[in-house]
Amino acid sequence: MKIILTLGAALILSACSSAQYMSKDWAGVGYQEQRIDNSTYQLSYTGSKSFAGNEEEAWSLIEEFWNKRATELCRSSVYQSSELKRLKPCKTFYTMGEDHSIREYRCFLELKGNLSC
């Protein structure tokens, strides 16, 4: 059982540490949009500092992913963004083992704003 938990934890950590373009997953990483009307969305992309060597490089990658999703939603690279905000939401994650539990507090980097196509 301990081997399975260790392998599972290793897979989770490796997935969290690599930058991937994807819809929001169980850990809260990825893009998420809400349609406001036919041509307007609220769009966010959440990542982590582990996406790159430092926080500023991670923000650049998150902005790249935000723009990629905006292009997909608008079906064009012509769109307007507004009210873009850099946020740092934090979450507590729990991992339960046979005889112990681990509590981990992680903060993320989130770019959130409005998109008009």
- Which residues touch 42 (CB under 8 Å, ≥6 apart)? 33, 34, 36, 112, 113, 114, 115
Q: Name the residue ranges covered by the structural domains of the chain.
A: 2-116
pLDDT digits (tens, 9 = 90+) for 3-22: 433 334 433 444 444 678 99
* E strand segments, the chain: 30-37, 40-47, 80-87, 90-96, 101-107, 109-116
Residue 67 in this model has a pLDDT that exceeds 50: yes
87 three-class SS: strand
- Which residues touch 17 (CB under 8 Å, ≥6 apart)? 50
pLDDT digits (tens, 9 = 90+) for 28-53: 899 999 999 999 999 999 998 888 88
